[in-house]
Chains A and B, each alone.
Chain A
Amino acid sequence: DAGVIQSPRHEVTEMGQEVTLRCKPISGHDYLFWYRQTMMRGLELLIYFNNNVPIDDSGMPEDRFSAKMPNASFSTLKIQPSEPRDSAVYFCASTLNGWQGGSPLHFGNGTRLTVT
């Protein structure tokens, strides 16, 4: 089991540019989450999917953020246009039965985004 795979590991871009972060969840997991981690705000849930369908995107900070899950093995988080305050580590995580069932989340190693 390769675990949750995220790419790229690091992304440095200039303000105004489009950024796309990618995630491959663990095969068979039907929940996928995008979290953002900063020193000031800790870990924040941005959006989550169940069976490729977005369930709750209330954590997405602005319309500049969008996420898709075209199939069970791939998801993207896009920021367009990017701003310096978007600088953070973005994590993707997947799980089998969701939170209420107590299934643990499996996290990728994150993408460290720096917007200059």
Chain B
Amino acid sequence: SQQGEEDPQALSIQEGENATMNCSYKTSINNLQWYRQNSGRGLVHLILIRSNEREKHSGRLRVTLDTSKKSSSLLITASRAADTASYFCATVYFGNEKLTFGTGTRLTIIP
């Protein structure tokens, strides 16, 4: 399977702390995207990073990409209760144009 793997599968932190989630993938990618899914809802796009980029920021989100290690990380700073959700990485592989989703990290922010 070319599915990305998120790590950890579940993460619980105190409100205000930073949350870091990792994604590993298997072959060369065109781009990598992060999505959030609240319980009972559809996925919401957070940020996209292209294969020639190393870091991107969006508000409290910071995404890094290490193509040599075939991995990406999503950092959420100063977490809030509303950040409680599942987070998925999704990759577009060269030679396979489909957007393939990882297994997700379930993040719980404890008030």
Using a CB–CB distance below 8 Å, which chain A residues touch chain B?
4, 35, 42-43, 45, 48, 56, 91, 93, 98-100, 102, 104-110
Residues of B near A42 (CB, < 8 A) are: 3, 101-104
CA distance A100 to B30 in the complex (A): 7
CA distance A105 to B100 in the complex (A): 12
- A102 close to B45 (CB less than 8 A): no
Instruction: Indicate if B60 sits at the interface (CB-CB under 8 A).
Output: no
- Give how many B residues have a beta carbon under 8 Å from the other chain's beta carbons: 23
CA distance A25 to B101 in the complex (A): 20
- A106 close to B45 (CB less than 8 A): yes
Instruction: Indicate if B110 sits at the interface (CB-CB under 8 A).
Output: no
13 of the cross-chain contacts (CB-CB < 8 Å) are A4-B42, A48-B98, A91-B42, A93-B42, A99-B30, A99-B31, A99-B92, A99-B99, A105-B99, A107-B44, A108-B42, A109-B40, A110-B41
Query: Closest B-chain residue to A92, C-beta based?
Result: B42
Residues of B near A110 (CB, < 8 A) are: 41-42
CA distance A99 to B29 in the complex (A): 11
Using a CB–CB distance below 8 Å, which chain B residues touch chain A?
3, 30-31, 33, 35, 40-45, 48, 50, 88, 92, 97-104
Query: Closest A-chain residue to B32, C-beta based?
Result: A102
CA distance A46 to B98 in the complex (A): 11
- A109 close to B104 (CB less than 8 A): no
- B88 close to A43 (CB less than 8 A): yes
Residues of A near B43 (CB, < 8 A) are: 43, 91, 93, 105, 107
Q: Smallest Cβ distance from B43 to chain A, in angstroms?
A: 5
